[in-house]
A and B are shown apart, each in its own frame.
Chain A
């Protein structure tokens, strides 16, 4: 069976909405009993959807969610021993503090094993289980995102289970409610844990944001869930309160000993509180690890940029364990193939700042900010900006030297080296259609020694070709896509929205996404904001195309 320590285990879970947007894409992770796990990522990365699937407000389109080894994927929230603290608390305004907290307790039913007169357990067919299996079968039949084969396989498995449930008798239970006295005691204990003892008779709208927050937590923990889910619970609090609450939550976690799954977009919150951080982007997990590991060893530029402040540069491997960036060869400890283009991350606090002439590279301080503990400088090295944190004070405008130790240089595989469009095709005008927009292209590159004779493509053997509707793969290098500010301009070939930007020292790496969800990745020296609408221009000679079929198919 599964590892018993995993309280929750997501296996290849995807969530696809009716309009075909993929919110969560093939996510797998597990959570150990008693762990504090944080799902971290920018808004829209699928972290909340993942949490909602664990809570039961959404059901996965594909994949399974196991709770203690049991599949709970399609179980409604009221049947899961999991409770949630909502972003905006979702307290019941018609109830006072006491009744809000007691809400779940009043509904709770305690199973008591039924026994006959002689003390032998009474056995019955488990009707609840049968109902659950039937429900699951029904949902499986209606799931549009599974292929017919997958459906059949699953249905077969379920009907087996159904037969088993219908034929085997299990221990029968009767359910009793908690007595008023028990509820009183539990509410009092919960109020004590969240420090709200004196407020139990207050109405909800007389409470401050922080107090409402505490009531929301008390309401969730009082029913003794196995897992507590927290959906950006501190988002509505001010900075000071947030810091206090962070520590308090952490303390509560230790005290209660239950598993916490926390969702936030605040990397500092995640680093402060979690045992494990799961970083997500566009519905995909980027990295899972302990806070320190993620901070020190980010897997890619996105993680490095998202977690903490960092300097990210384009670099090239020069020799074994020598990497070149900022116009200097640095010794490093990561091994990559020579000449490979890589991303380099250096944390601002890992750069040692010295007086002019006493380090590896020279630069000029162009900005200096006092941050309490240290100074934050921006140093111009050649064309690159380097962010440095140092306790030493230097004058703004001074020339300084910078040293970077080999183990402070973290090298990552580059995310993108070129844009590839596999479903491009050629239109009548001999243009290549990328994302259903025409781009001028040198069509003659498809034919060896090709030339245009009277508007027809002819090769050296005088064979004629017609590439209308031909399927091709188009390739555009990252630095050959030009961003155009004026989307009305005739040079603009396609319009998209900037969905991602990573600053890499001297330039930005942008991902521009069009309406049809095609991505164009490009470098630019200019700063654009996320969600800016921009145009794209690609020069004719910069698009490389190759046919998917043999060239002879297009002979005429």
Chain B
């Protein structure tokens, strides 16, 4: 019998890829999370995680950092995206590029440069770890807010703004009753692009706070580098769960507007 390539067979490489690099690593993490150093099944990691105030504190601190950073990025990014999307600005493409361009520079290098700049203007991480970290986080994640918001707002129908004024809205009401509700899908996906990566961010807090702030990503890294594979794996699972939950919560909105899509770190 001659072999005939069918559409079904085209997906074999992808399935192999997914099994090798997604499914098996996750299974490994689950395996390590629920075994001890001798390979026996145990709940030790779970118990030690939920009884360690230190680790719980890191989790709560990371959540707070994520929430604040998401809000800061949205507050800064939303007006920029709105201005860019309104046709009045002819240079908008250039400005989008200016915001996106730093992303082409190596991330670790960029963060080191940020640290140097901050030190130079007097906000050294050693003295002001929180401020430095927040500046660094916002700087890095604002492009991820602008892009999904920009693409949502480009699709907004200008005549709807006219329709809203026609029906009696003043300028503020046009925004609160028409523009903002319609840009919510963009806001949600922008928030997703910022919230979860902030939690697991490792390089930024490490570099900019000079090791003074430990976020969830940092503590997972510390665990692995200290050969505590079991507890670190369990934290990784917690991380995965949080990501899953946020995805579930925001699914309804993003279905309508599957946008954004850039690499995450």
In the docked arrangement, what's the CA distance between A83 and B163, Å?
9
Residue in chain B with minimal CB distance to A109:
B168
A88-B159, A90-B159, A90-B160 in contact; A83/B166 too (CB < 8 A)?
A: yes
Query: Is A84's CB within 8 Å of the partner chain B?
Result: yes
Report the minimum CB–CB distance from B138 to chain A (whole Å).
28
A107 x B173 contact (CB < 8 A) = yes
Query: Is B167's CB within 8 Å of the partner chain A?
Result: yes
In the docked arrangement, what's the CA distance between A77 and B163, Å?
9
Residues of chain B in range 134-187 having any CB-CB distance to chain A below 8 Å: 157, 159-160, 162-170, 173, 177-178, 181-182, 184
Q: Which of A86, A91, A93, A107 is in CB contact (< 8 Å) with B168?
A: A107
Which A residues are CB-close (under 8 A) to B166? 55-57, 77-78, 82-84, 220
A103 x B177 contact (CB < 8 A) = yes
In the docked arrangement, what's the CA distance between A86 and B173, Å?
20
Report the minimum CB–CB distance from A449 to chain B (whole Å).
59
A92 x B170 contact (CB < 8 A) = no
The interface size bin for chain B is 10 to 19
Residues of chain A in range 140-178 having any CB-CB distance to chain B below 8 Å: none
Task: Report whether over half of chain B's contact residues are helix, strand or loop; otherwise say mixed.
Answer: helix
A94-B182, A94-B184 in contact; A223/B167 too (CB < 8 A)?
A: yes
Which A residues are CB-close (under 8 A) to B163? 84, 86, 90-92
Report the minimum CB–CB distance from A493 to chain B (whole Å).
36
In the docked arrangement, what's the CA distance between A87 and B182, Å?
20
The interface size bin for chain A is 20 to 34
Residues 95-114 of chain A, each 1 if its beta carbon lies under 8 Å from chain B, else 0: 10000000110011000000
Report the minimum CB–CB distance from A145 to chain B (whole Å).
21
Query: Is A219's CB within 8 Å of the partner chain B?
Result: yes
Residue in chain A with minimal CB distance to B157:
A90
Which A residues are CB-close (under 8 A) to B173? 107
Residues 420-436 of chain A, each 1 if its beta carbon lies under 8 Å from chain B, else 0: 00000000000000000
In the docked arrangement, what's the CA distance between A90 and B165, Å?
12
Report the minimum CB–CB distance from A508 to chain B (whole Å).
37
Q: Which of A57, A92, A220, A223 is in CB contact (< 8 Å) with B162?
A: A57
In the docked arrangement, what's the CA distance between A386 and B166, Å?
48
A88-B157, A88-B159 in contact; A94/B181 too (CB < 8 A)?
A: yes
In the docked arrangement, what's the CA distance between A91 and B162, Å?
11
Total A-B residue contacts, Cβ distance less than 8 Å? 63
Residue in chain A with minimal CB distance to B163:
A90
In the docked arrangement, what's the CA distance between A93 and B159, Å?
13
A94-B181, A94-B182, A103-B177 in contact; A78/B160 too (CB < 8 A)?
A: no
Report the minimum CB–CB distance from B115 to chain A (whole Å).
42
A107 x B167 contact (CB < 8 A) = yes
Report the minimum CB–CB distance from B219 to chain A (whole Å).
40
Query: Is A382's CB within 8 Å of the partner chain B?
Result: no
In the docked arrangement, what's the CA distance between A92 and B160, Å?
7
Report the minimum CB–CB distance from B191 to chain A (whole Å).
17
Report the minimum CB–CB distance from A261 to chain B (whole Å).
14
Report the minimum CB–CB distance from B163 to chain A (whole Å).
4
A93 x B182 contact (CB < 8 A) = yes
Q: Which of A57, A76, A87, A219 is in CB contact (< 8 Å) with B167?
A: A219
Report the minimum CB–CB distance from B121 to chain A (whole Å).
41
A94-B181, A94-B184, A107-B173 in contact; A76/B165 too (CB < 8 A)?
A: yes
Which A residues are CB-close (under 8 A) to B178? 92
Which B residues are CB-close (under 8 A) to A104? 167-168
Report the minimum CB–CB distance from B8 to chain A (whole Å).
34
Which A residues are CB-close (under 8 A) to B184? 94
Report the minimum CB–CB distance from A48 to chain B (whole Å).
12
A107-B173, A219-B167 in contact; A86/B162 too (CB < 8 A)?
A: yes
Report the minimum CB–CB distance from A115 to chain B (whole Å).
26
Report the minimum CB–CB distance from B243 to chain A (whole Å).
27
A78 x B159 contact (CB < 8 A) = no
A90-B157, A90-B159, A92-B160 in contact; A78/B165 too (CB < 8 A)?
A: yes
Report the minimum CB–CB distance from B42 to chain A (whole Å).
50
Which A residues are CB-close (under 8 A) to B165? 56-57, 76-78
Residues of chain B in range 177-221 having any CB-CB distance to chain A below 8 Å: 177-178, 181-182, 184
Residue in chain B with minimal CB distance to A223:
B167
Q: Which of A83, A88, A92, A220 is in CB contact (< 8 Å) with B182?
A: A92
Q: Which of B157, B162, B177, B181 is in CB contact (< 8 Å) with A77?
A: B162
Report the minimum CB–CB distance from B185 to chain A (whole Å).
9
In the docked arrangement, what's the CA distance between A93 and B177, Å?
12
In the docked arrangement, what's the CA distance between A84 and B168, Å?
12
Which B residues are CB-close (under 8 A) to A56? 165-166
Residue in chain B with minimal CB distance to A94:
B181
Residues of chain A in range 218-252 having any CB-CB distance to chain B below 8 Å: 219-220, 223
Residues of chain A in range 64-86 having any CB-CB distance to chain B below 8 Å: 76-78, 82-84, 86
In the docked arrangement, what's the CA distance between A176 and B88, Å?
37
Residue in chain A with minimal CB distance to B159:
A90
Residue in chain B with minimal CB distance to A84:
B166
In the docked arrangement, what's the CA distance between A219 and B168, Å?
12
In the docked arrangement, what's the CA distance between A59 and B147, Å?
34
Report the minimum CB–CB distance from B16 to chain A (whole Å).
39
Residue in chain B with minimal CB distance to A216:
B163
Which B residues are CB-close (under 8 A) to A92? 160, 163-164, 178, 181-182
Residue in chain B with minimal CB distance to A231:
B159
A92-B182, A94-B181 in contact; A223/B159 too (CB < 8 A)?
A: no
Residue in chain A with minimal CB distance to B177:
A103
In the docked arrangement, what's the CA distance between A76 and B165, Å?
8
In the docked arrangement, what's the CA distance between A91 and B167, Å?
12
Question: Which of A57, A76, A93, A94 is most buried by chain B, counting CB atoms within 10 A of its CB?
Answer: A94
Which A residues are CB-close (under 8 A) to B157? 88, 90
Report the minimum CB–CB distance from A4 to chain B (whole Å).
26
Which A residues are CB-close (under 8 A) to B159? 86-88, 90
In the docked arrangement, what's the CA distance between A503 and B157, Å?
40
Residue in chain B with minimal CB distance to A57:
B162
Q: What 4 pairs across the A-B complex have the smallest Cβ distances?
A: A104-B167, A107-B168, A90-B159, A90-B163
Q: 8 more A-B contacts (CB under 8 A) besides A77-B165, A220-B166, A223-B167?
A: A56-B166, A77-B166, A78-B165, A86-B162, A91-B160, A104-B167, A107-B168, A107-B173
**20 A–B contacts, CB within 8 A, in A order:** A55-B162, A56-B166, A77-B166, A83-B166, A83-B167, A84-B163, A86-B159, A86-B162, A88-B159, A90-B157, A90-B160, A90-B163, A92-B160, A92-B163, A92-B181, A95-B181, A103-B164, A107-B173, A107-B177, A108-B168
**Measuring CB to CB, which residues of chain B are less than 8 angstroms from any residue of chain A?**
157, 159-160, 162-170, 173, 177-178, 181-182, 184
